[in-house]
Amino acid sequence: MHQTSHPHFLKNSMKKLTLIITLVITFITLPAFAQTPTLVYSQDAEALFQRALTRYIQNSYAEAKLSFQELVEKHPPNQRTSAARLMLAKSQYKLKDYSSAMATAIELQQQFPYSRYLPETDLLIGDCYFHQGQIYSAATQYSRVVTNRSDLRTRARAADRLGQMSGVNQLTDRDLERLKKDFGKGIIEEAVSFGLARWPTKLGDVTRGQKQLALFVERHPNSAFSALIRPMLAPDQASSRRTDQTTTAENKTEAQAMREPENARYKIGVIAPLGSSLGEDLRNGILLAREHAPLSSRDQVGLIFEDSEGDPIRAVRAAQKLVEQNDVIAIIGALSSAETTPLAALLGAQKVPLIAPTASDDGIASLSPYIFQMNATPGAQGRRIAEHAVRKQGLKILATLASRDAYGQRIVKEFTATAEELGAEVLIQEWYEPGTTDYRRQFERIRSAGLALQPPKTLSTEIESLLQGDLSANLSSPEGNSDTEQKEVVKTLDGLLIVGDGSDILLIAPQYHSALIPAQILGSDGWNHTQVAREGGAYVEGAVFVAKYYDQSNIQSVQNFVTAYRSRYGKDQNIVAALGYDAMLATLKAINAGGTTRDKLRDNLEAISDIPGATGHIAFKKGDRENAWMYMLTIRKGRIEPLTTP
């Protein structure tokens, strides 16, 4: 998964391990800790925030806006900075200044990427799009909220909006099909149905509303939204719509998910934010793997789930409980790198295998021989695309353009090192800050570097004349008219690596095309989005990039997973579910191979060389416990396709 934090290097692993363990122990003894280490408590900021909030509650939005703005702009970062930014955006929204509200919300997301207010900002951005008349953009934003890590109630609010937009025909059938293609057919249908089911109640028709809600629960018994609806149903509606068979199946699923089976010989702990949609996806993938890969010995494997709520300290406490009270043989978790890093430090020191399914920060696996990463790190991506570019495509003169964050910097660092080790040259590295929309300066510098390798036109003319026997070469040529002269095509660059997320790439690609650098475009997993392929058009055609997951793969194990997941859960899978599946599958394979103790399990995990899984192939190697296998993909005619057979 695409995350940003400081990379860890192998040579510093022991030093960092000691530091992280110290921090973990310190955190455990504290009741709470600040959201970021740079924030300080300010009584003045607290007083100003409370005054501004009072004005907002009293509907004095203009006054509230000024106070929140003062807190953001004139006070050093403090305990209320991110909350003030959210409330500033809400005040601007209430004042119908939708452009400013959106800009403030985006700024909050960029400056506080781990803020607990991010789901609210996502929803607010969608509302701003809606009021600006950008209906499909609003629907896309609501779909993101429905499918991301937002809490259930926030996802329900987004689903409400999708349902209402569909109900009044603001979304066409074509729009809905596009959303299903981009975000998953099952989850979009479920969200729209949920919104439509809630609509009668919102309009005051309670009787019809109860019937619609009960019908939704009947059709989607395993939906997280159904858990939200059931307490709202009258007893007769709830009982009339749910058969004994459905109730039994749901109870069985809940028992499997949350409690340890009786007589389980092996116990595996799972740590994740279980209340989030991605936490649910991870859990589903793990449960599905246990169903599909039972132990050959027929011994039971008990799964003990602990909710981290996305908090690193809760994750550490959950791990302590699993080790000390449940004597687990291994732990799978957590979801983010921020949660997983302290887990790795703690469990590595206690020699308990940790299989990290989705954490992507470099160096987590290097913290201890007991830590295994299933996801592809940014460093692994950089190495993989460089190897392909130089060895397979024969590219020699390269350049890079990347986001100036830990993700972009790590990819470029490893890409450059690998490419140059293989005999290529990275001529220039260019960077952009998050939120950049104009990349002309970066491309001008790349152009200049490429043009510097091209021989001057006068020299080319002279050499040609000499070869033809004409010694009267004209060494001087009139200067071109700068107002009418066409840009010279840069022919010396063979490849350009562009690193960023999908929204960045859709802005960069047209500007790259205008820069007249006909080099092979290379990319990271940020290119692996159907929206990039579809909306990028000719600008992204032929780009070559790496990705950890590709659900259209012709690898049989991938298609088996895609089909089984849809059949089991009634919705489409995603990379989180696939990585959860593979983490559990690898663990079960290691147990099957004789991993009956923590040490033996660790040894067997490290020996895994090629297991077909939900993402493709699972492989570790001694001393490097990152599952770095990836796809090479390209874009052809608006579709993402495999470049070569993996």
pLDDT band at 472 (very low <50, low <70, confident <90, very high): very low
Distance, CA of 522 to CA of 520 (rounded, Å): 6
Q: Which of 30-39, 457-466, 512-521 has the highest mean pLDDT?
A: 512-521
- Percent of the chain clearing pLDDT 70 (strictly above): 83
The predicted model gives 556-573 an average pLDDT of: 92
Give the range among 101-105, 261-265, 509-513 with minimum mean pLDDT: 261-265
Any bridge partners for residue 50, and if so which? none
- In this prediction the pTM is 0.60
Query: 310 vs 244, 336, 351, 580, CA distance in Å?
Result: 35, 8, 24, 16
Whether 446 shows a pLDDT value over 80: the answer reads: yes
Answer yes or no: are the C-beta atoms of 414 and 497 closer than 8 Å. Answer: no
The pLDDT-based confidence of 2 (bands split at 50, 70, 90) is: very low
270 close to 333: Cβ distance less than 8 angstroms: yes
Least confident of 39-53, 84-98, 365-379: 39-53
The residue-averaged pLDDT of 515-538 equals 92
| Confidence band of 22 (pLDDT split at 50, 70, 90) | very low
pLDDT surpasses 50 at 101: yes
For residue range 287-340, list pLDDT tens digits in order.
Answer: 999 999 999 998 989 999 999 988 889 999 999 999 999 889 999 989 889 899
Closest CA to 627 of 586, 573, 589: 586
Closest among 594, 574, 558 to 143, alpha carbons compared: 574
* pLDDT score at 39: 67
Q: Residue 244 pLDDT > 90, yes or no?
A: no
pLDDT at 21: 42
- Span 190-212, average pLDDT: 79
- Give the Cα separation of 499 and 455 in Å (integer): 30
More confident residue, 592 or 8: 592
pLDDT at 475 over 60: no
**What confidence category does residue 281 fall into, taking pLDDT thresholds of 50, 70 and 90?**
very high
What pLDDT does residue 248 have? 38
430 — alpha (psi -120 to 50), left (phi > 0) or beta?
beta
Identify the band that residue 200 occupies on the pLDDT scale cut at 50, 70 and 90.
confident
pLDDT at 630: 93
pLDDT at residue 82, as a whole number: 86
- SS3 of 93, please? helix
* Rounded percentage of the chain residues whose pLDDT exceeds 90: 48
Mean pLDDT of the 28-53 span: 64
Q: What is the distance between the alpha carbons of residues 100 and 102, in angstroms, rounded to a whole number? A: 5
Compute the distance between CA of residue 625 and CA of residue 377 in angstroms, rounded to an integer.
Answer: 11
**479 has a pLDDT exceeding 50:** no
342 in Cβ contact with 356 (< 8 Å): no
Ordered DSSP codes for 61-80:
HHHHHHHHHHHHHHS-SBTT
pLDDT confidence of residue 486: 63
pLDDT at position 83, please?
A: 87
Contacts of 183 (CB under 8 A, 6+ apart): 143, 144, 146, 147
Mean pLDDT for 542-546 is 96
As a whole number, mean pLDDT of residues 360-381 equals 92
Residue 14 pLDDT > 50, yes or no? no
User: 374 pLDDT band (50/70/90 cuts)?
Assistant: very high
Query: What would the two tokens of residue 321 be?
Result: 């409980």
* Average pLDDT for the chain: 82
| pLDDT for res 476 | 35
**Closest-CA residue to 588 (of 271, 294, 262, 286):** 294
Looking at residue 160, its pLDDT comes to 87
Which range among 105-114, 338-347, 548-557, 565-574 shows the weakest confidence by mean pLDDT? 105-114
Taking the C-alpha atoms of residue 386 and residue 384, their distance in angstroms, rounded to an integer, is: 5
Quick check: 9 pLDDT over 60?
Answer: no
The predicted pLDDT at position 490 comes to 92
**Rounded distance between C-alpha atoms, residue 467 and residue 544, angstroms:** 40
Greater pLDDT, 181 or 259 = 181
The amino acid sitting at 532 is V
- Helix or strand (DSSP H, E) at 271: strand 266-272
Which has more pLDDT, 223 or 260? 223
Give the pLDDT score at 357. 96
Over the stretch 382-403, which tens digit does the pLDDT of each residue have?
999 999 999 999 999 999 999 9
* Residue 478 in this model has a pLDDT that exceeds 50: no
Residues 19, 25, 30, 32, Cα dihedral to 10°: 60
pLDDT class of 202 with cuts at 50, 70, 90 = low
CA distance linking residue 469 with residue 268, whole number of Å: 81
Query: Is the predicted pLDDT of residue 485 greater than 80, yes or no?
Result: no
Tokens of 489: 């095509």
Residues 6+ apart with CB under 8 A from 124: 89, 90, 93, 101, 102, 105
